[in-house]
Amino acid sequence: MSTALLFPGQGSQTADMRQAVERHAPDLLELVLEQVGADPFELADEGTAYAQPAIVCASLAMWEGAGRPDAAFFAGHSLGELSALAAAGALSPSDAVRLAVVRGSLMQEAGGRAPGGMMALLGDGHEARAAVAAAGDVSIANDNGPTQLVVAGPSAALDHTAAEAKARGVRTMRLAVSGAFHSPAIRPAVAPYRKALERVEIHAPGLPVFSSSTASPFGARGAAIRDQLAVALVRPVRWRETMIALQELGAERFREVGPGKALTGMVKRALEGVDAAVLDQVTHA
């Protein structure tokens, strides 16, 4: 049975992340404290600059704690692409953490320059998309499944979209993020992030690693991977399509590696009859 390992993105932080890193990846703990200049685990709910490096550290620590389990495919939700590439051997875990520090800081800064936010539309996917089209001035940021679409944009535009969604029977929920991520508002972060990526050694992964912004495997060369990671900051996360593509290529078992369990629920809603669960660090089931 072919397994796909899935690594979560921002919003998956949990209270026990630091413990996992202390136990399974103390070298990454030392590195992230040095790079951030503060404890990102204590401040993960305070901003993207802290949440992103904390989540990547925790994801890689949990992967280490599970004994680096075998898989046929890897995929990461947005930020989780760094963890997935590290697990597949395309870059070192330490470089993944360094990039997460830069990425989180740049995205927080860009979000502050263009105030806005993100909102989940929960319910019928067709009606949710119709609400977005009718409202305007927002971007689809995440297509997480048939019943969850996330949009990003200015606060006034999100209010308008919420009203349209309510009229169509679609529930909405504002997300606790500091900017309109995966939208044109984050464009100022792309060029400096690309420069940070150029300073890191990236190899072709030994096994397919799916980009959630293209719903297809990353390119086979470091330059192509760098480009995909940079432009992903302003592209929507196509998670539903990524899950479908993995299943079509033969993935029969999906295991979430990292804090939280959001991706497991997304897989179950997107695919019928799949074996999806959070990775058990003892049994590797």
Q: Which helix (H) or strand (E) holds 132?
A: helix 125-135
Return the closest-CA partner of residue 61 out of 89, 35, 23: 23
> Collapsing DSSP states into helix, strand and coil, what is residue 85?
helix
Work out the number of other CB atoms within 10 angstroms of the CB of residue 247: 18
Catalytic residue, chosen from 12, 24, 59, 78, is 78
> Which residues are within 8 A (CB) of 58 and not within 5 positions of it... i.e. 6 or more apart?
13, 14, 17, 18, 20, 21, 41, 258, 259
Catalytic residue, chosen from 182, 183, 211, 212, is 182
Distance CA 45, CA 98 (A): 19
- CA of 194: how far to CAs of 42, 60, 190, 232, 250, in Å? 28, 23, 6, 11, 33
Beta bridge partners of 150: 120, 142
Q: Does residue 78 have an active-site annotation? A: yes
CA torsion angle 121 212 244 256 (round to 10): -90
Distance CA 227, CA 161 (A): 32
Q: Does residue 126 have an active-site annotation? A: no
What is the largest distance, in Å, between two alpha-carbon atoms of the chain? 52
Residues tagged active-site = 78, 182
